Amino acid sequence: MLIKTNSNDFSHALTSEITSQRVYAGRRDLVKLMATGVAGAALASWASREAHAQVAGATPRPGKLTALPGAKSGVAGAITMDKLTEYKDASSYNNFYEFGTDKADPAKNAHTLKTSPWTVEIEGLVKKPAKYALEDLLKLSAQEERIYRLRCVEGWSMVIPWVGYSLSELIKKVEPLSSAKYLEFVTQADPKTMPFVGSRVLDWPYVEGLRMDEAMHPLTLLTFGMYGEVLPNQNGAPVRLVVPWKYGFKSGKSLVKIRFTDKPPATAWNKAAANEYGFFSNVNPEVDHPRWSQATERRIGEDGLFAKKRKTLMFNGYEAQVGQLYAGMDLKKFF
């Protein structure tokens, strides 16, 4: 709100309007603390919180989990002009079959997932096999915030500010052998903490795979957070993959192992129904799922029951970045 003075024709804002209400309230508290002598520590923590807020840029943090800010990414295609999905939708409408098959199950059940200590093992056709503690994996490269669309094979999509770094950074560190052509991503399968591991829906652990050039593509994100915070358990804490031009199921959650191989790995959904879920699973409005069309999608959060669906874009809108990876391939055959 602007205050107009009566004498001159100029306007000025209240201090509480120049600064956001939240920051303003924080400063007021700080002034109070100064008076009590504990301001030093408070100032340090306030300053670091402000620094986080600045790095995270425009994306407001929900403030429920530990902060994990990332600098805005320079990777082409990482920023979309789409409106962000609300955090509450992105963290309550999930697929994570280890915690149940209903979209609401993961948010309800995934609190049992034990995310610390956590290690990710690198094995197979690499010069430097390794076991990374999560803390070391986090430090391997600078965290970036990347806004990506995630399009689920079931026909819905979200737009999420993910935090992580290109998987290629890790791949380069472990030095793949020239015989390594594929990567197999193995995810956590612990029946003690994941109530649906053992159910017959899938052959556990949930495994996914990428061709080496797909894994090396800068858009492929090793992901530790979203909305400026560490990942909620239901979104695949503490570390997952996000491959934005492929159907969501290619983005394995709660990764524990990455194996470099010379053959395409047997993936969970391909093993469950090979005629429905191919190895590539690139988002493609022209190739239908055998049981439904893939031409349109519903954006979670902006849909009343009667809202118009959106047209699904080739490679989920990332064709300029990834199209050349599939030049000359028959995408109907290699779906």
For residues 114 and 92, give the distance between their C-alpha atoms in angstroms, rounded to a whole number.
Answer: 19
By CB under 6 A, residue 245 contacts ligand MTE: no
CB 242 within 8 A of CB 164: yes
The nearer residue to ligand MTE, 182 or 249, going by C-beta atoms, is 249
* Residue whose pair of structure tokens reads 């955090």 in the numeric block: 87
CB of 320 to ligand MTE, least distance (A): 23
Give the amino acid at 191: P
Among 118, 132, 148, 206, binds ligand MTE (CB under 6 A): 206
- Min. distance of Cβ 187 from ligand MTE in angstroms? 4
Q: Pick from 187, 281, 284, 321: which binds ligand MTE (CB under 6 A)? A: 187
Does the footprint of ligand MTE cover residue 254 (CB under 6 A)?
Answer: yes
Residue of 89, 106, 104 whose CA lies nearest to 299: 89
> In what helix (H) or strand (E) does residue 4 lie, and over which residues does it extend?
strand 2-4
- Our finding on whether 322 is near ligand MTE (CB under 6 A) is no
Distances (CA, A) of 109 to 49, 193, 215, 226: 30, 9, 31, 20
CB of 109 to ligand MTE, least distance (A): 12
**Residue span 262-301 as binding mask against ligand MTE, x where in contact by CB under 6 A, dash where not:** ----------------------------------------
Integer CA distances (angstroms), 263 to 211, 252, 286, in order: 9, 19, 27
Distance CA 117, CA 247 (A): 30
- Tokens 């800068």 found at: 218
Among the listed ranges 59-67, 68-76, 93-101, 282-290, the one in contact with ligand MTE (CB under 6 A) is: 93-101
Contact window for ligand MTE (CB under 6 A) among 65-73, 245-253, 286-294, 325-333: 245-253
- Residue 311: φ, ψ to 5°: -75, 135
d(CA 197, CA 321): 36
Residue 183 as a binder of ligand MTE (CB under 6 A): the answer is no
Cα–Cα distance, 303 to 202 (Å, whole number): 30
**By the rule CB under 6 A, 95 interacts with ligand MTE:** yes
Minimum CB distance to ligand MTE smaller for 99 or for 176? 99
Q: x/- binding map, residues 101-130, to ligand MTE, per CB under 6 A? A: ------------------------------
User: Position 30: which residue type?
Assistant: L
* One-letter identity of residue 83: K
Residue 110: CB minimum distance to ligand MTE, A: 10
Q: Which of 248, 259, 283, 297 binds ligand MTE (CB under 6 A)?
A: 248
CB of 319 to ligand MTE, least distance (A): 20
Q: How far is the CB of 219 from ligand MTE (least distance, A)?
A: 16
